[in-house]
Amino acid sequence: MRKYVLDLQVTSVEQPGERYLLLDATNPAGPLPEMNPGQFAQLRIDDNKDTFLRRPISLHHVDYEKNEVSFLVQKVGKGTASLWQKRPGSTLNAILPLGRGFTMPTSAEQKFLLVGGGVGIAPLLFMGEAMLKMGVRPTFLLGARSKSDLIRLDAYRALGEVYVTTEDGSEGEKGFVTQHSVLQREKFDNISVCGPKPMMMAMACYAKQVGTKCEVSLENMMACGLGACLCCVEDTKDGNVCVCKEGPVFDVEKLKW
Binding site for another protein (CB under 8 A): 2-5, 44, 49-54, 95, 220-235, 239-240
How many residues are listed for the chain in this entry? 257
Compute the distance between CA of residue 126 and CA of residue 70 in angstroms, rounded to an integer.
Answer: 9
In the complex, minimum distance from the CB of residue 92 to another protein, in angstroms, rounded to a whole number: 14
42 vs 178, beta carbon nearer another protein: 42
185 vs 256, beta carbon nearer another protein: 256
In the complex, minimum distance from the CB of residue 170 to another protein, in angstroms, rounded to a whole number: 27
In the complex, minimum distance from the CB of residue 97 to another protein, in angstroms, rounded to a whole number: 11
User: Please, which residues have CB within 8 angstroms of residue 59's CB and are 6 or more apart in sequence?
Assistant: 35, 37, 38, 39, 40, 41, 69, 70, 71, 96, 97, 123, 126
177 vs 222, beta carbon nearer another protein: 222
48 vs 181, beta carbon nearer another protein: 48
Alpha helices in 152-223 (DSSP H): 153-157, 182-185, 197-210
In the complex, minimum distance from the CB of residue 93 to another protein, in angstroms, rounded to a whole number: 8
Compute the distance between CA of residue 215 and CA of residue 248 in angstroms, rounded to an integer.
Answer: 10
191 vs 232, beta carbon nearer another protein: 232
In the complex, minimum distance from the CB of residue 230 to another protein, in angstroms, rounded to a whole number: 5
In the complex, minimum distance from the CB of residue 179 to another protein, in angstroms, rounded to a whole number: 29
Q: What is the dihedral of CA 41, 125, 75, 18, to 10 degrees?
A: 150
Closest by alpha carbon to 123, among 216, 214, 245, 7?
Answer: 216
43 vs 155, beta carbon nearer another protein: 43
43 vs 249, beta carbon nearer another protein: 43
Compute the distance between CA of residue 188 and CA of residue 101 in angstroms, rounded to an integer.
Answer: 19
Compute the distance between CA of residue 218 and CA of residue 194 in angstroms, rounded to an integer.
Answer: 7
How far is residue 168 CA from its own chain's centroid? 24
In the complex, minimum distance from the CB of residue 229 to another protein, in angstroms, rounded to a whole number: 6
Determine phi and psi for 114, rounding to 5 degrees.
-110, 115
- Name the amino acid, one letter, at 226: L
